[in-house]
């Protein structure tokens, strides 16, 4: 089985950041709305709202984060699957742009009582998108290069000891 550590750096970063994104989206509350009190002596009742609650863009972002994670994990799970081309980098970039857009729309629609976790998720989605776009640029520049086999350099010819004169 192909090891996680033998993957390129961009793939590792995207894989780890998408896992962190999924953790923030699933576990951390995005909003902390509190009820309005009629009497100041009444206790303040606050609740927690997660990203998948409310409008559907939180669910879309959760699905896109999971899709990016699975897409980047496929070569680790299936070693014969090669995903080093620029077309696979474009798929990751497209998914990550959609993830950042969905996270931004979720932040705009639910813009009251946001916690720091909503902004952490947005920062993670932007970091995933930036890493994926940089990887597309790198893959595009190297798309026509073929892997060259390692050649052993031949040592330079040396003159025999004792000089080059033949008298």
**151 domain-assigned:** no
96 confidence band (pLDDT: 50, 70, 90): very high
**163 domain-assigned:** no
- Residue 12 pLDDT: 84
- Residue 35 pLDDT: 65
User: Average pLDDT of 49-74?
Assistant: 87
- Residue 111 pLDDT: 78
- Residue 5 pLDDT: 44
**51 domain-assigned:** yes
User: Average pLDDT of 104-130?
Assistant: 89
Q: Which of 31, 46, 45, 43 is nearest to 114 (CA)?
A: 31
Q: Tell me, what CATH number does 31's domain have?
A: 1.20.140.150
- Residue 140 pLDDT: 65
- Residue 10 pLDDT: 73
**148 domain-assigned:** no
Tally of domains in the chain: 1
Q: Is 167 helix (H, G, I), strand (E, B) or coil?
A: coil
Range of the domain at 136: 4-141
Higher pLDDT, 67 or 137: 67
Higher pLDDT, 152 or 78: 78
**69 domain-assigned:** yes
Are the CB atoms for 112 and 24 separated by under 8 Å? no
- Residue 75 pLDDT: 81
- Residue 152 pLDDT: 55
**74 domain-assigned:** yes
1 confidence band (pLDDT: 50, 70, 90): very low
**111 domain-assigned:** yes
**162 domain-assigned:** no
42 confidence band (pLDDT: 50, 70, 90): low
User: 25-41, pLDDT tens digit by residue?
Assistant: 888 888 777 766 666 67
Query: What separation, in Å, do the N-terminal and C-terminal C-alpha atoms of the chain show?
Result: 65
Whole-model pTM above 0.95? no
């Amino acid at each position: 089985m192909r090891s996680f550590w033998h993957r390129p750096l961009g793939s590792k970063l995207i894989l780890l950041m998408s896992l962190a994104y999924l953790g923030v989206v699933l576990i951390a509350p995005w909003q902390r709305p509190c009820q309005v009190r009629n009497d100041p002596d009444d206790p303040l009742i606050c609740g927690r709202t997660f990203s998948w609650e409310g409008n559907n863009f939180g669910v879309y972002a959760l699905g896109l984060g999971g899709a990016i994670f699975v897409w980047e994990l496929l070569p680790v799970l299936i070693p014969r699957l090669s995903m080093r081309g620029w077309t696979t980098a474009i798929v990751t970039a497209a998914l990550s742009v959609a993830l950042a857009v969905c996270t931004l729309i979720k932040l705009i629609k639910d813009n009251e009582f946001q916690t720091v976790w909503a902004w952490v998720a947005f920062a993670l989605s932007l970091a995933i998108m930036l890493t994926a776009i940089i990887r597309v640029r790198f893959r595009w520049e190297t798309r026509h290069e073929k892997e060259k086999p390692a050649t052993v350099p031949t040592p330079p010819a040396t003159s025999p000891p004792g000089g080059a004169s033949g008298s």
